[in-house]
Amino acid sequence: MQNAPLRLGIAGSGFAGKFHHKNLRGLPAVTVGVTSARASSREAFAQEFGVRAYASVDEMLPDVDVLDICTPPSSHAEYIRKAAAAGKHVIVEKPFHGFFGSPETFSKEEMLASVTEELRDIRRVVAESGILLGYAENYIYAPSVQREREVIEKTKAQILRMTAEESHSGSHSPVYGIWSEQGGGSLIGKGCHPLGGVLYLKRKEGLARNGKPIRPVAVSCRTHSITKQPAFEDRGYLRTTYKDTEDYAFLHVIFDDGMIADVMTSELVLGGVYDFIEVYANNHRTRCHIQPVKVVDLYSPDKKEFANMDLMEKISSNEGWIQAYPEFGWSNGQFYEMHDFVHSMREGRQPECDLELAIDITLAIYAGYVSADRKGAEVAVPSI
């Protein structure tokens, strides 16, 4: 294990870049630099956090041990390849990868085939370079999900079915809702989180009971554009600017042991982020609360009192009773993911959320889009 702090270079100086940097607190790691598409935003980040602004990933790579990719998903694969070529470890935000062409031009089958080939190639590039890759799926690191992992491993529980969700009323990003920028809509943008959680838990069950991960083999999926329905009555509380992506998805996952999970995701939920996984096993039942969690109930008589405080993610107004975070990034795992990445990279071991899980999540999502095009018919998840 090295003694010097791990040197991170962050690509992307927006929301995710900032929370990755802040969550390094107390760790043997340091952010040495940042780069982003716009000079003004990377310089503002550099000034705020006392790091160096680089004009590009290429310029930053020689000075770092890890490239931390917090840019929009269409750039993830390119930056993973650059880091691997330079022999630098990678942390990469969700969604791992996607297909960034218009759904008017490309069929969902073409998207799945292209993504499958790309994932195969990324796996080869990463393996040949010998780098470690941490996929920043924070659900894996949520304290409630880690507690459930422990229960499964210690009791050798068999998971029979799961339900899981991530929903809230849209995204702050102006390019959310554009397929060629995001690779899809709710299913990839939000659904990747609960899907990641359920695939992770079945993997862990398989390893605990039979020494082999249990993988998804098939999916059935429906997607809908509810805010585009002629009957939708817009009261102004929900975002509606989705160009060519769905705002609701339901993904039914079938695992190789015949057990199942149902993942729901949408942009149609008011009241802040609604994130959970519920596990129905042969010896227990667990509801993993991710957000909100009932730790701090805060009453705010007037929204002006807390206008500038971040109390609860994606809530529309800081007024009334609020289930406030005890700490940003605690219950949803964003704090703990950086711990695992830093320690695993210093120790030279695979992180808990690794490339293999990122690959399965991505394949299940695009198999889901093929299924949705066929109005829910079962589609095999490729095994690569």
Q: For 299, which DSSP code? A: E
Tokens at 139, concatenated: 């659900």
Which residue of the chain is nearest ligand NAD when measured via CB? Answer: 14
> Closest separation between CB of residue 7 and ligand NAD, Å?
19
265 strand-pairing partners: 166, 249
> Closest separation between CB of residue 26 and ligand NAD, Å?
20
> Closest separation between CB of residue 22 and ligand NAD, Å?
13
247 binds ligand NAD (CB under 6 A): no
367 binds ligand NAD (CB under 6 A): no
21 binds ligand NAD (CB under 6 A): no
Q: End-to-end CA distance of the chain, in Å?
A: 32
253 strand-pairing partners: 219, 261
Question: Looking at beta carbons only, is 329 or 382 nearer to ligand NAD?
Answer: 329
Interface residue with ligand NAD among 6, 8, 10, 11 (CB under 6 A) is 11
Residues between 144 and 183 with contacts to ligand NAD, criterion CB under 6 A: 173
- Binding part of the chain for ligand NAD, among 64-72, 241-249, 266-274, 349-357 by CB under 6 A, reads 64-72
Interface residue with ligand NAD among 93, 148, 267, 354 (CB under 6 A) is 93
191 binds ligand NAD (CB under 6 A): no
Q: HSE-up of 206 (CA within 13 Å, CB side)?
A: 16
13 binds ligand NAD (CB under 6 A): yes
207 binds ligand NAD (CB under 6 A): no
> Closest separation between CB of residue 244 and ligand NAD, Å?
18
Q: How many CB atoms lie within 10 A of CB 163?
A: 17
How many positions of this chain bind ligand NAD (CB under 6 A)? 22
What are the phi and psi torsion angles at 240 (to 5°)? -130, 5
Residues, the chain? 384
Stretch (H or E) spanning 279: strand 274-281
- Binding part of the chain for ligand NAD, among 35-43, 81-89, 242-250, 285-293 by CB under 6 A, reads 35-43
Interface residue with ligand NAD among 51, 67, 70, 372 (CB under 6 A) is 70
Tokens at 49, concatenated: 């956090």
Interface residue with ligand NAD among 10, 54, 61, 73 (CB under 6 A) is 73
> Closest separation between CB of residue 376 and ligand NAD, Å?
26
Stretch (H or E) spanning 107: none
38 binds ligand NAD (CB under 6 A): yes
- Binding part of the chain for ligand NAD, among 13-21, 233-241, 247-255, 364-372 by CB under 6 A, reads 13-21
Helix, coil or strand: residue 262: strand
227 binds ligand NAD (CB under 6 A): no
Cα Dmax for the chain: 62
232 binds ligand NAD (CB under 6 A): no
The 3-state secondary structure of 304-373 reads HHHCCCCCCCCCCCCCEEEEECCCCCCCCCHHHHHHHHHHHHHHCCCCCCCHHHHHHHHHHHHHHHHHHH
> Closest separation between CB of residue 3 and ligand NAD, Å?
30
75 binds ligand NAD (CB under 6 A): yes
CB of 201 closer than 8 Å to CB of 148: yes
> Closest separation between CB of residue 288 and ligand NAD, Å?
16
| CA atoms of 66 and 57, how far apart (whole Å) | 11
Tokens at 52, concatenated: 């160096």
Q: How many CB atoms lie within 10 A of CB 340?
A: 18
Place of tokens 């399965």: 360
114 binds ligand NAD (CB under 6 A): no
Interface residue with ligand NAD among 27, 30, 41, 106 (CB under 6 A) is 41
| CA atoms of 373 and 384, how far apart (whole Å) | 23
Give the binding site for ligand NAD (CB under 6 A).
Answer: 11-17, 35-38, 41, 70-73, 75, 93-94, 136, 138, 173
